[in-house]
Chain A
Amino acid sequence: MPLVSSWRINPGKVIRRETLIGWIFVLPALLMYAVFVLVPFLLTFVYSFYRWTGVGAATWVGLKNYVTVFEVPDLLGTIINAFWLVVFFSFIPVGLGLVVASVIHRVATGRLGAVARTILFLPQVIPLVAAGIIWGWLLALPGLINQILRAIGLGAITRAWLGDFDWALPAVGLIGIWVLLGFCTVLLLTGMTKVDAALYESARIDGAGWFREFISITVPLLRYEIGVCLTVTVIAALAAFDIVYVSTAGGPGNATAVPGIQIYILAFTQRQIGLASALAVMLMILVVVVIVPIQWLTREVKQ
């Protein structure tokens, strides 16, 4: 038993005392967590069985909302869009983040590395709404990206990227990559510094190149960090709302509509709190179904 002070006589009492102190320390955080996460979570579940406008009396409708949810326009399309976003929000940032982090780790550990980390992490600090507006300008027909394309002779492919049926989703994905690459890079880089340098050293002595090191040491030993990155970014993609809302609001047509946007419209524009909650619960189940295997695959192997 740790930390038994000499003036404490009864070990049993000490444990109880420590447990109590522990709870007291946890309490403020727990309270916040309960108020802002647990209670809303339970309420969402409860609301999903009622027909309710958010004001006045609610009517119990059982599972009806879960049936009606399938009538939401283009619901399947929004879910497919969300899975496409997984590619941009998750696979590309994690893959690219691994490469960037290992390059920084190998060649730029000093000031250069710090600068690179800072620049890549910056999008996490910039308010997304402001970033969304700027990206809107950059991707507009008269915007900078099209100006550059014209300047290098690619005028033929210029278009209003966020207003194009085929390109709007990849354009939103690009914003997602910009936002999430820094997060993944920094997390993975931190993981790399934890790896015993002797491993890299011996690999180098054995004549391993960058790629060999990357495949044989970095990726396997970062399994847990990669798991965290994948979990966070896949959730960001499936439950996407903010990036989509500030860049396209789901348009053009429903080309970038995702379940998060539909939930928002149902709850706050149509004031169908029950229906919106049902969709939210279903989205949560979908997220869990996707995330659990990722967690399972990337769990650290127990020795």
Chain B
Amino acid sequence: MKRKINLILSAVAVLAVLSIAAPTPKTVAAQSGPTCGTGPVKLNAYFETGFDLPFKLSEEFTKQYPNVTWDIKQDQFTNLINATPRLLSGDNPPDLIRLPTMVSFAKEGLLKNLDDYAKAFGWDKWPVPQLDQNRVAPDGTRGSGSLYAMGLNYSLTGVFYNKKLATQIGMKEPPKTLAEFEDLLAKAKSAGLLPIMEWGSAKSGMGLAFPLQALMASLGPTQPINDWIFQKKGATIDTPDNLKAAQRLEQWIKSGYFPPDINAIEYTDSNARFVKGEGVFTFNGDWENANYDKNMAGNVGFFLMPPADAKSSPAAMSAPLTFGIAAKAKNADCAAFFFNWVATNPTARQIDVSVGGSNPGGPADAKMPTVAEGSVTNETLAAGAVIGKAGTAMDFIANATSSIFAQGWTPELQKMVGGKQDAAGLLKAVQAEYERELTQ
């Protein structure tokens, strides 16, 4: 639950491609770039508990490269966050580690600079926008500079809907504008349904950050939002467009579009309740695809948050499932080879999509794995292509600083739910927290 949100929270990297067309496992020698060699290699890895994808990928990798075995340690995501600095700087630095954030680790020289690998494997020729999210400039801003992490896949967020309930309120096709969407929310409310299921407990982190950011991108451009997240100089979240978005969210809260007990709802409970038919819509990400396709098969759809202006492109939070290599890792070459393999090997890409639910990234011309017709995964992959083309991907506003989510967005949005904070106060309080953290 927390982990899922954190997927999004996590910084982004890009995946890219192999300069060589998908090599078959046996032709390692013919491939450019570093490899895992032929002698026995044991990769020292740290994965997060309860998230199958990296484990499944590691099994398949060993099947294809039997000389590589794994020493996998796992922990809850929150514990992993706290342990990461010590693991990276310790005596047995990980070859592969799930990263929550990376700017400070990159600045402290704890993470391997991946620029040489990017060149050797041709990652820098992969489609650009996503790659940038794992770059860190010397001044500590993200979005440009050297590459310090890679994504195993790229998640996408948007609006999931319960098809049966949506039909009930007369929704024939996904809304194309914000006005159409709000019309549907009002209809759901007057039909006695819960318009939007979302979570909001401090233990999970406040889920209203999802619809808030969606509204920001619907009502204004994405660039200022990314600048703020990447800590560009002088960036502020307190802009006129964002104020409009926060006011809209406040209006949604007052209209009763969210569950009244949202401040006590955990991420997992929110999902369980949505799957059981509570809530017409929910803002969430494609990491839940496997869950939705299994537990509400055929009854779940997805659309991107529609723009306020029908002529604009929709935008979305999209973040890589970020992994890094410790600066002192013993098997860095093999780990980099693994990154490359995940993005380019057809079996790996298939696992990525069917287990992870998200876009595997990789070279622009890489074949997209097949997914079941009518599944929601099909819809999110198609939506991902729209975002990729429009270049309107954003990182998550909760990723701007290490505790902006815990100390800023979560308490302030909870206060808004409780009627103790308004739209203008929300943005001011979060901006103040942001500046406080950056100056400390």
Contacts and interface: CB of A to CB of B under 8 A. Distances in A.
Interface SS of B by simple majority: helix
Given A269-B402, A270-B437, A251 B85 contact: no
B266 A164 contact: no
A82 B262 CA distance: 25
A164 B89 contact: no
Interface string A239-259: 000000010111111100100
Nearest to A171: B264
Contact of A163 (B262, B402, B412): B262
Given A253-B418, A271-B85, A71 B269 contact: no
Contact of A141 (B81, B264, B406): B264
Nearest to B200: A163
A163 B201 contact: yes
Interface centre among B81, B266, B407 (most CB of A within 10 A): B407
Contact of A250 (B81, B85, B202, B266): B202
Contacts of B402: 269-271
Given A53-B85, A165-B418, A250-B202, A159 B108 contact: no
A163 B203 contact: no
A251 B261 contact: no
B104 A251 contact: no
Contacts of A139: 264
Nearest to B410: A251
A69 B420 CA distance: 25
Given A140-B261, A160-B260, A164-B263, A54 B406 contact: no
A132 to B, nearest CB: 9
A246 to B, nearest CB: 8
A253 B420 contact: yes
Contacts of A268: 81-82
Interface in A267-300: 268-272, 275
Nearest to A256: B202
B415 interface: yes
B433 interface: yes
Contact of B108 (A55, A160, A248, A249): A55
Contact of A73 (B201, B269, B433): B433
B414 A55 contact: no
A248 B403 contact: no
Nearest to A264: B82
B7 to A, nearest CB: 17
B412 to A, nearest CB: 8
Interface in B59-89: 81-82, 85-86, 88-89
Contact of B411 (A54, A246, A251): A251
Given A53-B104, A55-B86, A141-B261, A252 B110 contact: no
B86 A160 contact: no
Looking at B110, B402, B421, the one whose CB has the most chain A CB atoms below 10 A away is B402
A267 B279 CA distance: 38
A119 B410 CA distance: 37
Given A164-B263, A269-B406, A252 B104 contact: no
Contacts of B233: none
A163 B263 contact: yes
A68 interface: yes
Interface in B408-433: 410-412, 414-415, 417-418, 420-421, 433
B202 A249 contact: yes
Interface residues of A, number: 34
Given A162-B264, A163-B262, A265 B414 contact: no
In the complex, which of the residues A68, A257, A268 has the most CB atoms of chain B within 10 Å of its own CB atom?
A268
A207 interface: no
A253 B411 contact: yes
Contacts of B81: 268-269
B265 interface: yes
B370 interface: no
Contact of B414 (A161, A246, A251, A270): A251
Nearest to B412: A253
Contacts of A173: none
A166 to B, nearest CB: 9
Given A54-B85, A73-B433, A275 B407 contact: no
A265 B269 contact: no
Interface in B380-415: 402-403, 406-407, 410-412, 414-415
Given A54-B86, A251-B263, A252-B202, A140 B269 contact: yes
Contacts of B311: none
A160 B263 contact: yes
B420 A165 contact: yes
B415 A252 contact: yes
Report which residue of B85, B203, B266, B406 has the largest number of chain A beta carbons within 10 angstroms of its beta carbon. Answer: B203
A140 B272 CA distance: 14
B419 to A, nearest CB: 9
A97 interface: no
A250 B402 CA distance: 17
- Give me the 9 closest cross-chain CB pairs, A-B, nearest first: A163-B264, A251-B202, A163-B263, A160-B261, A160-B264, A141-B261, A249-B202, A252-B414, A252-B263
28 contacts: A55-B108, A55-B110, A56-B89, A71-B436, A73-B407, A136-B266, A139-B264, A140-B261, A141-B260, A159-B261, A160-B260, A160-B263, A160-B264, A161-B264, A163-B201, A163-B265, A248-B201, A249-B203, A250-B202, A250-B411, A251-B414, A252-B263, A252-B264, A252-B414, A253-B420, A265-B403, A265-B406, A269-B406
Given A55-B108, A140-B261, 19 more contacts: A54-B85, A54-B86, A73-B407, A136-B264, A139-B264, A160-B261, A160-B263, A163-B263, A163-B264, A163-B265, A165-B420, A251-B414, A252-B411, A252-B415, A253-B414, A254-B411, A257-B411, A269-B81, A270-B440
